[in-house]
Structure 1
Amino acid sequence: MDVITTHINADFDCLGAMVAARRLYPDAKMIFAGAQERSLREFFLKNPEQAALFSRVRDIDLEAVTLLILVDVRQSERIGPFAAVAHRPGVEVHIYDHHPAGNADLHGEREVIEPVGSTVTVLLKIFMEQGIDPTPEEATMMMLGLYEDTGNLLFSSTTLDDYRAAIFLFSHGADLNTVSDSLVQELNAEQVALLHELITSRTVLTVSGIEISVAHATVDHFVGDLALLAHKLKDMENLSALLVVVRMGDRIFMVGRSRIPEVHVGEILSEFGGGGHAFAASGTCRDMTLVQVLERIPQILRERVQPRWEARHLMSSPVKSIAGGASLREARELMTRYNLNALPVMDGSEVAGVITRQVADKAAHHGLAEVAVSEYMSGEFASASPSTPIETLQELIVDRNQRLVPVFGEGKLLGVITRTDLLRHMVSGARALRHPGVEDLAASGSALKKRQVSRLVRERLPASIRELLAGMGEVGDAQNVPIFAVGGFVRDLLLGKENLDIDLVIEGDGIAFAREYCRRHPCRVRTHAKFGTAVIIFPDGFKVDIASARMEYYHEPGALPNVEHASIKLDLYRRDFTINTLALALNGPEKGALLDFFGAQRDLQDKVLRVLHNLSFVEDSTRVFRAIRFEQRLGFHIGLQTEQLLRSALRMGFVEKVGGPRLFNELAQILKESNPLPAVERMAELGLLPYIHSRLTLPPRVKSLFAEASRAIHWYELLYTGEPCQGWLVYFLCLTSGLDEESLEELNRRLGIPSRHGVILGEQRREVHRLQRFFERRWGRGRPLRPVELHARLSPLATEALLYLMARVDNDEVRSWVSYFYTALRKAAPLLSGDELKALGIPPGPLYKKILKTLLDARLNGKVASREDEIVLVKKRFLKP
């Protein structure tokens, strides 16, 4: 298979270059490696026929790729899932690009790289050499890329070849109206000249490890839209922080733009009489020259820009440690259990050294597993305080190769910072870490700001729930413990789905918090001390689950977890999927902030389900069922790697180790979905049904049973009887309808089916199958059942069994018999009571049963309609004259 792709966050140059490459490789599939920029996404929304030209990564087999054509990119870290393809032996790589080599790590059997303004130009030179004529639609998409990357042919990087390429596209029908509508407003000549001067003059100041660009220029007259030029410069150079200073006539105009909270441009420009927001500000001053302003900027930056990320923001706690006298075998077991790569070695309350997994493994390989940890630990290490800046941590961990940095405060070990902690911080752009002002992080991209989250809470939650959460936060503030709403409640808040199943996590004693809340409010609490959890129950029956922040580890696959207290970050790490790791802070300085340590918002946006680590399904194989349930309920898809891990867990038999009751609970949860059939079909597709029972399959007959059962359940719900019906049990009967009685009994024992369901799944199921055959024979002979017969045969059955019967029969008239019984006959009963029979002069005794049966039959057959009718019948049949 041939594939054409480009870098993630693709722009119009990527689009045009991919379309051009398709003409050179007509059999290749065009696939974006990742997300696209907003302008490109909007173009596809307006032109769906162009979007249809592209395939999705999930729709192809990456292993089948033999030729990879890269356009506008030469770095493997920028091509997402295709990085592994590019490095796979046997895959031929062709590269078309216009960027300087830089840190490029990819090389191809064919490379066409030229220093022009656009990759489209590189490919169009080949078109012109080979006489290839693009269609008008292709020419328009190529022109979009050419214009965007050359700034409408005005950037200083624009070459003569770019102009020739534009002429070529125009001559082949490129629609400039579409180009104009899709790209940002064109700049006039004065603005282009000013922007060029800003680009040329830009310098970078590094303050506390933070890079801030400063660009300046001078013009003799006023040039409008300086803010637009600043925005363009920021985007063109992908700058985190930018100050633009321009003298126009006798005034100094200043514009600030920032993407990071450390650089508050509003505060910075306030020093020059200006102001604005943290990420956008402006100012004007008359009493200073341009030179004076430029000289003062570094001083103000040193005062205003402070290193806000410190050790306390990165450290993990509580700390897992080991005594120096413990064996290396114990150290290995501890690191495996908690998924750690290094441990502090303690001598009493002091850290004596650090032992790494690598050292422990090598020592065990040499037969030294029982030797004390202190013999092979590293005793030379640096520590940090909570206020240690991140630059120092980077030096220790990266430059000095220290695997673990202990953090001390007030004479005790508060936490540790690992290489993974620092790497996650650096890769995420600091979006993952908790911090005052976290709502302002990721000013661009999918991360939600605090005010956006507040709007969602206000718009999507009932007032009663908002008041409840506010009350919880107040109690948390009083107890000085952080409180977070977590899990599906927060996930569905972002998705716009109704979910009032509230789970709260307390960084502290969850039970103590719950009791304090109940002391202040009219409710009661039920606790579970072993897991540090509680349930707050309100007078109307509404419940809120409370848990202490905890971490879990598993002694063996499929076993129940062991639980220990931890931070909110570690608590979320134990969750099943990334989309369920969001946390909403309800109190303290972070109140209203959305915590996203593991990329949940990205996966929600991409509609993908991913596990947090590769052993997720091994440690808890019930997550296999939850993956399917969430995938179908939310309309998501299981990520490629996650599905591979899921299938691996199935092949290795980990699902078989799950206890029956836990397996039954997950299956019941799937069957409780509003439409469980797609999830059951997905289970069958993944080969999961035989793990529930070796003979369990999903033939067409069972699928049709699900459809009929859905109709029957909906019919029952529309009756509004007020009586509960367990629809999942009806679906369970449908799913297992093909099993013989012996196999079903075996399955019931395996799953530990509760006895309250056993009667329906046993004798009532047998009776339903018998009645189905009997009813259909009667209908075939044209002999409908009389009301008395219907009542006698159907009244012993539970509602779920009756609905299962309606699903099984193939004839609507037979279904109407069951419907008639349920709506008209089921609650039929004599109006006369035993006391009234006694009043008529009939002594109590066995005769009463016969009389009541006679009255019921008469009522079912329409022979009596009132109390008086029943009295007449009794006197006639049972009272002697």
Structure 2
Amino acid sequence: MEVITTHLNADFDAMASMVAAKKLYPDALLVFPGSQEKNLRDFFVHTAGYLFDFTKLKGLDLSSISRLILVDTRQASRIGKFQEVALRPEVEVHIYDHHPRADDDIQGTVEVVRPVGATVTLLTHILRERGVPLTPEEATILIVGIFEDTGSFTFSSTTPEDFRAAAFLVECGADLNVVADLVTRELTSEQVALLHELLHSARTYNIQGVEVCIATVSVDRYVGDFAVLVHKLKDMENLDVVFALARMEDRIYLVARSRIPDVNVGEIAAYFGGGGHATAASATIRELTLIQAEDRLFDLLQSTIKPAVTARTLMSSPVITIEAHADLAHAEQLMVRYNINAMPVLENGRIVGLINRQVLEKAIYHGLQAEKVREYMNPEFATIGVEGRLVDIQKYLVEHQQRILPVMDGETLVGVITRRDLLNHLITDRSREPTALKDDLGAGPWGKQKNIVGVMAEQLPKNIITLLRSLGEHAENMGYKVYAVGGFIRDLLLRRPNLDIDVVVEGDGIHFARTFAEKAGIRARCHKKFNTAVLIFPDQLKVDVATARLEYYQYPAALPIVQFGSLKMDLYRRDFTINTLAVALNSKEFGTLIDFFGGQKDLKEKAIRVLHNLSFVEDPTRILRAIRFEQRFGFRVGKQTASLMRNAVKMGLIDRLGGQRLFHELQHIFMEEDPLPALRRLGEFGVMEALCPSACFDAKAEQLFIKIKEVILWYKLSFLDEPLEAWRVYFLGFLSRIKPSDLSNVLARLDLPHNARERIVWALQKVNDVLSEFLRLPGLRPSDIYRALQPFRPEELLFMMAKTNREEVKRAVSYYCHRYRYVKPDIGGRDLKAMGLPPGPLYTNILRAVRDAKLNGDVKTLEDELRLAQNLMAAAADQKKEELHAGHS
């Protein structure tokens, strides 16, 4: 069997080339390897589908293919399932392509590859040479491919051969009216809106003297002809280089155009699994978020536009090293002397490992200072050449978490790059400061920004604004920058009350907090380990102060390790885009809203999105947090973020979380005004099942939570004076739906203290006992109800009310809460002592009996209580006499 195919997301040139190849291989089947561009799909449905016999991939026996004809591509990564066919040694592969060579190119037995504007040009030339006739319909389809891939002969990749091929096709009867209809289509309203967003998100960067424009957009649905929009953007703004990234549904589309030889967009698109020419290229990105894709793109641009930053320019030299046969004590001395945290280990002049301060300190603490370095060095490490690219340096130091990166010139160690070297470069790199393409955007070095002083004045008390200005002035005097960040800013823009203030300092956060506290006459509590502090004011207002920092995780679900960084790096470590907003507090920029990651847009679109695709892998608690924010604000988790959440749950990352962290997030959900929607979503994402297979959230559980909400509201409206921790009622409701045989495992999994576990088990059991036995007894008096319910806390009583359907039971609990629990005898121990009763256990029995009588209405006055006490004392005395008499007998 012979098959003609092309690349995924096929365009007109790809389809036209398939049609042309069919003229050369008449017995071959035409098969798309996957999806096609929207315009091609529409055209195919209305036209091509009636003219040509295309075969669907589904059901095709790939093992029967003996010859594979590839058109408009030769990259293995771009032909889907046909990759395995092309790599089989017995399959004959014929290739017709106009793209430049890529790393994963397939080798063909026949190859026709030339740099022309469109692949169909090559095939048209062959058809003309061989005298193969074309119908007008065939010629029309072929010429559409040429017009599309040459931009109607305006792309710099257009060659004279493209013009000659088009002229021949016109001679064959190609209908240029069809071409005009397809190539010069009117934009839809969706496309106009997307083009508007492209214009207003576009920023230009000066990278090694080259002006590069990067535009990003985000929509929850697919919008066709994105490449056409990018081309229009390039023409409207006369851009030399433009990269556009569009998040549509759960993937990102990259389209790039370049007019200058300094930037080969095909090479960059290939890095993302796409392809194209030096002047026009595209890629579909599935494994990254929009923010990550933009960061990777920027790193690639810095690495590919010459002169690029290389390992030679970043490295420190000469290198402090240690011999493998040296002892650990000597290694520590070297590190202290030169104030370094890691160094290479040499043996016979060759690098054989790395040793770091943390390992040394632990080993010496255990008395191993005389041991040899080779025994404790890390022999697994990466190195980089002197011309190594910035993107690779970042990969080893950040993604692979290597402490230092040795730089090699051949076999010779010539330098090392530390994380601090990398961070210093990233912080001081001026090429990262964008300029807005449109003046009305107001973007500067902080990305999209605007001043929100008016919103602050409207939403915040005057004393808070005064405090924020004071923080900014103090930072100014110290030469620091300070910003209010996170949920405080998010809720400010959502017009929600929130005075939990977090500030980030670009400088020494602890020093900033201490000096501010000293000046303001308040307290500062500092945490050196995390470079954080808390400012505590007399009115109990607290302000959290953090040093701008970057977090990375040693393994999935680990606690973060903190490194110093800039504001952007600090915000990048946060959970969701809506929590990455910041406001400058320094005097000159006071009130300027800073948005590096599209947080404003996601607030407007009511979307919860993570910043990078490993977000839930690094910290699975974010799964619960995403659901909590989604329900609190009435937002929706984005499609890509939802997919990442489900994958993290399937990977079992919930199981790796520490119990206290998991319980903390569950507690926050139960503290929401209505936890029911969040719990329902936890069930949808499989989090409940991950916690415990029997923790299903069914209709009965939902009904219980509705009743819990009702009884909590009743309690609050009743103005009962005892404090209520409402989340505990929901927590009991949640645990009550778990099988008793699983309960102890769940409580242990949540790492609750032993006494807390015992109390929960007791409460669940006793509530069942009271509901099933005691309160069903006929003729219960108030004293009986009091004694039954007195051991329970308010939260347990409300859970009891929610769990029962019997009105008399609810009434009994209500009477207890409102009346019975406040009833106490008017008499006390002093009265009993005055009546001649010596102190002892009898006091408790008598006072309890008087309280019961008062509850039941048997005594009403102080005299009644005294009389009853005297009678009880007399009865007790008589009983004692009888016991003595019985003893003598």
Please give the range of the TM-score, normalised by the shorter of the 2 chains. Answer: 0.5 to 0.7
> Is the 2:608–2:635 contact (alpha carbons within 8 Å) kept by the matching residues of 1?
yes
Number of the residue aligned with 1:865 = 860
Residues 479 and 756 of structure 1, relative CA distance in 2, 3 Å threshold = farther
1:440 Cα deviation after fit? 2.8
What's the CA shift for 1:628?
A: 1.2
> What is residue 329 of structure 2 aligned with on the other side?
none
- Corresponding residue for residue 602 of structure 2: 603
1:805 equivalent to 2:800? Answer: yes
1:441 to 2:440 alignment:
no
Q: Is the CA contact 2:669–2:675 (under 8 Å) kept in the aligned structure 1?
A: yes
Equivalent-residue separation in structure 1 for 2:537 and 2:410 (angstroms): 56
Q: SS state of the match for residue 424, structure 2?
A: strand
Distance in 2 (alpha carbons) for counterparts of 1:104 and 1:683? 53
Q: C-alpha distance in 2, partners of 1:466/1:787?
A: 55
Q: Deviations over 1:140-179 (max 9, x none)?
A: xx9x99999xxxxxxxxxxxxxxxxxxxxxxxxxxxxxxx
Amino acid at match of 1:495: L
CA distance in 2, matches of 1:669, 1:640: 24
TM-score w.r.t. length of structure 1: 0.56
1:68 and 2:38 aligned: yes
Asked whether 1:830 is paired with 2:825, we answer: yes
CA 837–430 in structure 1, closer or farther in 2 if over 3 Å, else same: farther
Secondary structure at the counterpart of residue 526 of structure 2: strand
Are residue 415 (structure 1) and residue 410 (structure 2) matched?
Answer: no
- Shift in CA distance, 146/656, structure 1 to aligned 2, threshold 3 Å: closer
In structure 2, what is the equivalent of residue 695 of structure 1? 694
Question: Aligned residue for 1:544?
Answer: 543
User: Are the counterparts in 1 of residues 448 and 596 from structure 2 also a CA contact under 8 Å?
Assistant: no
Distance in 2, Cα, partners of 1:646 & 1:532: 31
| Partner SS state of residue 425, structure 2 | strand
* 1:60 counterpart residue number: none
Contact kept? 2:394, 2:422, Cα under 8 Å: no
TM-aligned CA distance change 1:447 to 1:569, over 3 Å: closer
5 Å matches for 1:152-191?
none
Q: 1:583 to 1:756 in 2, by over 3 A?
A: farther
> Kindly tell me: are residues 372 and 537 of structure 1, through their superposed partners in 2, closer, same or farther at Cα, counting changes over 3 Å?
closer
Map of 1:261-410 to 2, 5 A cutoff? 326=344, 354=388, 373-375=407-409
Q: Do the aligned residues in 2 keep the contact of 1:730 with 1:800 (CA within 8 Å)?
A: yes
Q: Give 1:841 deviation, angstroms.
A: 3.3
- In structure 2, the CA distance between the partners of 1:71 and 1:322, relative to structure 1 (3 Å rule), is farther
Report SS of the residue matched to 1:544.
strand
One-letter code of the match for 1:681? R
Residues 104, 604 of structure 1: CA spacing in aligned structure 2 closer, same or farther, 3 A cutoff?
A: farther
Instruction: After superposition, give the CA deviation of every residue in 1:748-790 in whole Å (9 maximum; x if it has no partner).
Output: 1111113463343121221011112125644xxxx35321111
Q: Distance in 1 between matches of 2:519 and 2:677?
A: 46
Alignment partner of 2:38: what SS? strand
Q: Secondary structure, in 3 states, of the residue corresponding to 1:670?
A: helix
How far apart in 2 are the matches of 1:121 and 1:712? 60
Contact 2:34 2:80 in 1 (8 A): no
Q: What do the CA deviations read for 1:358-405 (whole angstroms, capped 9, x no partner)? A: 59999xxxxxx9995323599999xxxxxxxxxxxxxxxxxxxxxx9x
Partners of 1:121 and 1:146 within 8 A in 2: no
Shift of the 538–849 alpha-carbon distance from structure 1 to 2, 3 Å rule, reads same
Matching residue of 1:683? 682
Which amino acid is 1:68 matched to? K
Name the counterpart of 1:299: none
CA distance in 2, matches of 1:104, 1:496: 51
Separation in 1, partners of 2:587, 2:413? 39
Superposition pairs of residues 139-218 of structure 1, within 5 angstroms: none
Conserved 8 A contact 1:71-1:119:
no
* Aligned counterparts of 2:443 and 2:820: Cα–Cα separation in 1: 65
Deviation at 1:839, TM superposition (A): 2.5
Distance in structure 2 (CA, Å) of the matches to 1:344 and 1:458: 53
Q: Aligned residue for 1:157?
A: none
The 3-state SS of whatever aligns with 2:504 is: strand
Deviation at 1:687, TM superposition (A): 1.0
* Change in 2 beyond 3 A, CA 1:748/1:413: closer
Note the C-alpha offset of 1:562: 1.2
Aligned AA (1:470): R
Task: Show CA shifts across 1:557-616 (max 9, x none).
Answer: 111111122111111111111111111111154322111111111221222111111111
Identity %: 36
- Could you tell me which runs of 5 or more consecutive residues in structure 1 were left unpaired when the two chains were aligned: 1-62, 74-86, 123-141, 149-207, 212-233, 242-313, 335-341, 346-351, 363-368, 382-403, 432-436
Amino acid at match of 1:843: P
Note closer, same or farther for the CA distance 1:862–1:501 as it changes in structure 2 (3 Å cut). Answer: same
Q: Which residue number in structure 2 is paired with residue 456 of structure 1?
A: 455
Task: Normalising by structure 2, report the TM-score.
Answer: 0.56
Q: 1:815 to 1:67 in 2, by over 3 A?
A: farther
Distance 2:627 2:682 in 1: 7
**Preserved CA contact (<8 Å) 2:406 2:413:** no
Aligned to 1:572: 571
The equivalent residue for 1:848 is: 843
Task: For residue 819 of structure 2, give the secondary structure of its aligned residue in structure 1.
Answer: helix
Distance across 2 between alignment mates of 1:373 and 1:235: 42
Aligned partner letter, 2:803: R
Question: Which residue of structure 2 aligns with residue 311 of structure 1?
Answer: none
User: Residues 843, 650 of structure 1: CA spacing in aligned structure 2 closer, same or farther, 3 A cutoff?
Assistant: same
Measure, in 2, the Cα distance between the counterparts of 1:111 and 1:457: 59
Q: Distance in 2 between matches of 1:551 and 1:116?
A: 52
- What is the rounded CA distance, in whole Å, between the counterparts of 2:191 and 2:663 in structure 1? 59
In the superposition, relative to structure 1, how do residues 147 and 635 fare at CA in structure 2: closer, same or farther (>3 Å)? closer
Q: How many residues align?
A: 573
1:576 match: secondary structure: coil
Determine the structure 2 residue equivalent to 1:839. 834
Indicate whether 1:501 and 2:506 are aligned.
no
**Partner of 1:584: helix, strand, or coil?**
strand
Q: Which amino acid aligns with 2:595?
A: D
Q: Is the 8 A contact 1:489 1:503 kept in 2?
A: yes
In 2, Cα distance between the equivalents of 1:765 and 1:730? 11
Moved more, 472-481 or 661-670: 472-481
> Which residue of 2 is the match for residue 205 of structure 1?
none
Deviation at 1:695, TM superposition (A): 2.4
After TM superposition, give the deviation of residue 456 of structure 1 in Å. Answer: 0.9
Structure 1 distance, partners of 2:405, 2:534, is: 47
State the AA in 2 paired with 1:440.
G
- 1:785 to 1:592, Cα distance in 2 relative to 1, 3 A: same
Q: Which amino acid aligns with 1:817?
A: A
Contact 1:476–1:587 under 8 Å retained in 2:
yes
- Measured in 2, the distance between the counterparts of 1:438 and 1:826 equals 66
Q: 1:117 to 1:866 in 2, by over 3 A?
A: farther
Distance of aligned partners of 1:374 and 1:636 in 2 relative to their CA distance in 1, 3 Å threshold: same
Q: Report Cα offsets for 1:6-40 as digits up to 9, x if no partner.
A: xxxxxxxxxxxxxxxxxxxxxxxxxxxxxxxxxxx
Structure 2 vs 1, CA of residues 70 and 527 (structure 1 numbering), >3 Å: closer, same or farther? farther
Counterpart for residue 633 of structure 1: 632
How far, CA to CA, are the matches of 1:825 and 1:64 in structure 2?
73
Aligned partner of residue 547 in structure 1, secondary structure: strand
- 1:332 Cα offset (Å): 15
Q: How does 1:462-473 map to 2 (within 5 A)?
A: 462-473=461-472
5+ unaligned residues in a row in structure 2: which ranges? Answer: 1-32, 44-77, 82-140, 158-174, 194-208, 213-231, 240-307, 322-343, 346-350, 358-381, 397-402, 878-889
Q: Is the 8 A contact 1:534 1:546 kept in 2?
A: yes
| Cα distance in 1, alignment partners of residues 156 and 424 from structure 2 | 38
CA distance 1:67–1:866, shift in 2 (3 Å)? farther
1: CA distance between counterparts of 2:678 and 2:155? 46
Query: Are the aligned partners of 1:118 and 1:145 in contact in 2 as well (CA < 8 Å)?
Result: no
What secondary structure sits across from 1:373 in the alignment? strand
Q: Distance in 2 between matches of 1:868 and 1:691?
A: 63
Give me the whole-angstrom Cα distance separating, in 2, the residues matched to 1:593 and 1:561: 29
Provide the alpha-carbon RMSD of the alignment: 5.3
